[in-house]
Amino acid sequence: MRDVINISLPKPLSNIVDKAVIKGAYASKSEFFRHLLRLWTTAEDLGKSRKELEERKGKLLRSLKDLR
Protein backbone atom coordinates (compact mmCIF):
# COMPACT_ATOMS: atom_id res chain seq x y z
CA MET A 1 0.00 0.00 0.00
CA ARG A 2 1.21 3.49 -0.75
CA ASP A 3 0.87 6.70 1.22
CA VAL A 4 0.15 9.93 -0.56
CA ILE A 5 2.32 12.84 0.53
CA ASN A 6 1.75 16.34 -0.80
CA ILE A 7 4.58 18.85 -0.74
CA SER A 8 4.86 22.50 -1.55
CA LEU A 9 7.93 23.77 -3.41
CA PRO A 10 9.11 27.24 -4.31
CA LYS A 11 8.85 27.85 -8.05
CA PRO A 12 12.60 27.49 -8.78
CA LEU A 13 12.67 24.01 -7.19
CA SER A 14 9.44 23.03 -8.89
CA ASN A 15 10.99 24.06 -12.23
CA ILE A 16 13.95 21.74 -11.59
CA VAL A 17 11.62 18.79 -11.04
CA ASP A 18 9.53 19.69 -14.09
CA LYS A 19 12.61 19.95 -16.32
CA ALA A 20 13.92 16.55 -15.16
CA VAL A 21 10.58 14.94 -16.00
CA ILE A 22 10.29 16.73 -19.37
CA LYS A 23 13.83 15.65 -20.32
CA GLY A 24 12.80 12.06 -19.66
CA ALA A 25 15.14 11.49 -16.73
CA TYR A 26 12.09 10.47 -14.67
CA ALA A 27 8.70 9.13 -15.67
CA SER A 28 6.91 11.36 -13.17
CA LYS A 29 7.41 13.82 -10.36
CA SER A 30 6.76 10.99 -7.92
CA GLU A 31 9.59 8.96 -9.46
CA PHE A 32 11.91 11.98 -9.07
CA PHE A 33 11.20 12.13 -5.35
CA ARG A 34 11.41 8.34 -4.88
CA HIS A 35 14.87 8.48 -6.46
CA LEU A 36 15.84 11.42 -4.26
CA LEU A 37 14.78 9.49 -1.14
CA ARG A 38 16.74 6.40 -2.26
CA LEU A 39 19.85 8.56 -2.65
CA TRP A 40 19.30 10.10 0.77
CA THR A 41 18.91 6.73 2.51
CA THR A 42 22.02 5.42 0.74
CA ALA A 43 23.98 8.45 1.94
CA GLU A 44 22.70 7.85 5.48
CA ASP A 45 23.86 4.22 5.35
CA LEU A 46 27.26 5.23 3.99
CA GLY A 47 27.63 7.79 6.77
CA LYS A 48 26.94 5.12 9.39
CA SER A 49 29.45 2.76 7.79
CA ARG A 50 32.07 5.51 7.63
CA LYS A 51 31.54 6.29 11.30
CA GLU A 52 31.93 2.60 12.23
CA LEU A 53 35.22 2.45 10.34
CA GLU A 54 36.48 5.63 11.97
CA GLU A 55 35.61 4.21 15.39
CA ARG A 56 37.33 0.93 14.46
CA LYS A 57 34.03 -0.94 14.93
CA GLY A 58 33.66 -1.98 11.32
CA LYS A 59 35.56 -4.49 9.27
CA LEU A 60 37.48 -3.27 6.26
CA LEU A 61 37.16 -5.76 3.41
CA ARG A 62 40.11 -5.93 1.06
CA SER A 63 38.84 -8.85 -1.02
CA LEU A 64 35.87 -11.22 -1.30
CA LYS A 65 37.76 -13.69 0.90
CA ASP A 66 37.34 -11.22 3.79
CA LEU A 67 33.58 -11.85 3.74
CA ARG A 68 34.11 -15.22 5.46
Mean pLDDT calculated for residue range 4-33: 97
Is the pLDDT reported for residue 68 higher than 80?
no
- Could you tell me the pTM of the whole model? 0.69
Quick one: which of 6, 7, 33, 9 has its CA closest to 20? 33
Is the pLDDT reported for residue 8 higher than 90?
yes
**pLDDT tens digits along 22-64:** 999 999 999 999 999 999 999 988 888 888 888 888 777 788 8
Q: CB neighbours (10 Å) of residue 32?
A: 17
- Given a contact cutoff of 8 angstroms between Cβ atoms, the answer to whether 8 and 23 are in contact is no
